[in-house]
Amino acid sequence: MTAVHRAMLEAQGPVLQFDRPLLEGETPSHVPVVVNLFGTPERVAAGLGVTLDGLDDLGAFLAALRSPSPPDGLRDALSRWPMLKAALATRPKITKSAPVQNVVFEGADVNLSTLPIQTHWPGDAGPLITWPVVVTRPFGSRAADVGTYNAGVYRAQVLDRNRLIMRWLPHRGGAAHHQSWARQGEKTPVAVVLGADPATLLSAALPLPETVSELTFAGALNGTRPRLVPAKTVPLMVPADAEIVLEGWVSPVETVPEGPFGDHTGYYNPAEPFPVLQVSAVTHRKDPLYLSTYTGRPPDEPAIIGEVFNRLALPTIRAQIPEIHDLWLPPAACSYRMAIISINKRYPGQARRVMMALWGMLPQFSYTKMIVVVDADIDPGNWDDIAWALATRMDPTRDVMLLENTPMDYLDFASPQPGIAGKMGIDATTKIDSETTREWGKVMKTSEEDAAFAADLVARLMQSSGT
C-alpha cells in the first residue's frame, strides 16, 4: 500500500481508498484505508478552508493571532471582520451523542489488531499510526476547559492489542502535558483521534501560538463551531465527527523502545524509549475510514504540507525580520534543513544579520543547517536563479559564514555528535559599499516594451502554426 501511495503521490494523483485491506493472516479488514489526502498543495489549502490564492490572507491572520494590533478606526475594524467572525466561530459546541461513538469497545473488548494500521517500510519495527491527532490537557485543568487542550500529530507504534507507544518529543505540547501529570505521579488522559476532519488535523500540525487551542482553531478554518463530545473512559472532549477515537492513559513512568521506523530524512531512525499508552476504549462511526500516510524521503505528504505551511509562516517571519522578501525551504532538503531567503538589501552586512536572526530568534530555524541569502530579484524557489546568484554574487572566501556547536536534529546522521552540529550561511546577494572594492556589474534585462512585443508576436506565431 505504501508503494502504491508513493507512486500516486509522485504522479500528483488523486486520493486513494483501499476498500478491503488485508490484516495479518490475510484477513480482510472491514475498515477501508484512505491515503494521499494531502498529496497536492491544492488539497492542503482546501483542508485549511482556502484556495492557494487565499493562503496569504490566512498567513496574515496567523500573524495577527501572534501579535494582534488594535483597529485603527471604524474602516480598519470592518476590514478585519472576516478575522473576527472566524475567531468567534472557534467556541466549541458540546454535544451528548456523536457519530464517532456509534460503536464502542471498552476494556477486554479493545483489540487494535482489527484496525488496518500499516507497517510502511521493510525495516519498520511494526504497525505505525501516522496521522493521529493526539489530544491532551495539563494537570489541574478541567475536561471542560477546551482552551487548555493541546492537539498534536505524533506517531504511535502499536505494541499489542491494547497498548501504543506515544512518540512525543520533549519540546512538544503533548510531552509537556504528560510531564505535568507525571510530576504528580498521575496517569495522563489521552485521546488519539484517527480520521479527524482536515481542518482539525492541519490545525494540530500548525505552529499556532500557545494561547490558541488547535481543536477550537479548526472552527476558524471551517467557519463553524467545532462539535465535541465527552470521551467514554477518559476526562477529555473529543471531535464528535471524527472516524475513530482511541482513549487511554499514559503511564507516568513506563517507557519502552520505539522504532526503528523510516523517517522524513530517508533513513531509519534508531529505537528510543517513549511513554506507553494503555488503551481503555475504541470508539468509531458505524462504517469508519482509517486515514493513513507514510513518512520518508520527500516527496511525501508531510513535505507537501510543509511547503504550504512555509507560505503561511511568511507574514509571521516578516513581522520579526521585515527585510525578508520571500523564502523557500526545499522539500528535498527534509523541508527545514536548508533555507533560501530573499531580502530587500539596503546596507552592508545585512545578509549575515538576517541569517543570525533566523537562527537565533525563530525556533523553526533551529535545525536549519544551511541558509542562502539572495536579493529580491532572485526567485528563492527556482534552482536556476539560485545557482546563478551563487555563481555570480558569492565569493567563497568572503561570503561563507560557519558556526560550530549549534543545536541540530538528532536524526541528522551527518552531525559529528547527536543533537549538535555546525551551520553554514552563504551570502549570495549583490555586494554594496564596504562589502567590495570593485565596481559591481549591471544586470542585463530586456525592456518591458520589447518583452511585451516579443510575447505577443510569439503567441500569434504559435497560434498560427497550431502548436
Tell me the pLDDT tens digit for each residue of 277-305. Answer: 999 999 999 999 999 999 999 999 999 99
The whole-number pLDDT of residue 427 equals: 98
Among the residue ranges 60-74, 117-131, 164-178, 396-410, the one predicted with the least confidence is: 60-74
pTM (whole model) above 0.85? yes
List the beta bridge partners of residue 277.
164, 250
Backbone angles phi, psi at 62, to 5 degrees: -65, -40
Backbone angles phi, psi at 74, to 5 degrees: -65, -40
Q: What is the pLDDT of residues 49-94, one digit of tens each?
A: 999 999 998 888 888 777 656 555 545 654 655 655 665 556 789 9
Which carries the bigger pLDDT value, residue 67 or residue 27? 27
Q: How far is CA 250 from CA 15, 138, 179, in A?
A: 33, 13, 11
Rounded distance between C-alpha atoms, residue 224 and residue 91, angstroms: 9
Which carries the bigger pLDDT value, residue 208 or residue 192? 192
Rounded distance between C-alpha atoms, residue 94 and residue 236, angstroms: 12
The whole-number pLDDT of residue 74 equals: 47
Residue 212 — pLDDT band, cuts 50, 70, 90? confident
The whole-number pLDDT of residue 223 equals: 77
**In this structure, are residues 167 and 157 in contact, taking their beta carbons and an 8 Å threshold?**
yes
Region 356-361: what's the mean pLDDT?
92
The whole-number pLDDT of residue 425 equals: 98
Eight-class DSSP state of 155: -
The whole-number pLDDT of residue 220 equals: 79
Amino acid residing at 180: S
User: Are 2-291 and 321-435 equal in CATH topology?
Assistant: no
Rounded distance between C-alpha atoms, residue 159 and residue 275, angstroms: 12
The whole-number pLDDT of residue 224 equals: 81
Region 193-212: what's the mean pLDDT?
88
Average pLDDT, the chain: 91
List the beta bridge partners of residue 163.
160, 278
Rounded distance between C-alpha atoms, residue 359 and residue 365, angstroms: 5
Among the residue ranges 41-45, 55-59, 257-261, the one predicted with the least confidence is: 55-59
Region 92-105: what's the mean pLDDT?
94
Fold of the domain built from segment(s) 2-291: Pnp Oxidase; Chain A (2.30.110)
**Residue spans per domain, the chain:** 2-291, 321-435
**In this structure, are residues 281 and 247 in contact, taking their beta carbons and an 8 Å threshold?**
yes
Q: Is 300 annotated in the active site?
A: no
Eight-class DSSP state of 18: E
Q: How far is CA 404 from CA 109, 232, 363, 416, in A?
A: 54, 51, 18, 11
Rounded distance between C-alpha atoms, residue 327 and residue 412, angstroms: 23
Fold of the domain built from segment(s) 321-435: UbiD C-terminal domain-like (3.40.1670)
Helix or strand (DSSP H, E) at 40: none
The active-site residue, picked from 56, 124, 263, 385, is: 263
Which carries the bigger pLDDT value, residue 57 or residue 232? 232
Q: What is the pLDDT of residues 426-459, one digit of tens each?
A: 999 999 999 999 899 899 999 999 999 999 999 9
Rounded distance between C-alpha atoms, residue 120 and residue 127, angstroms: 8
Region 149-155: what's the mean pLDDT?
92
The whole-number pLDDT of residue 79 equals: 62
List the beta bridge partners of residue 338.
370
List the beta bridge partners of residue 402.
424
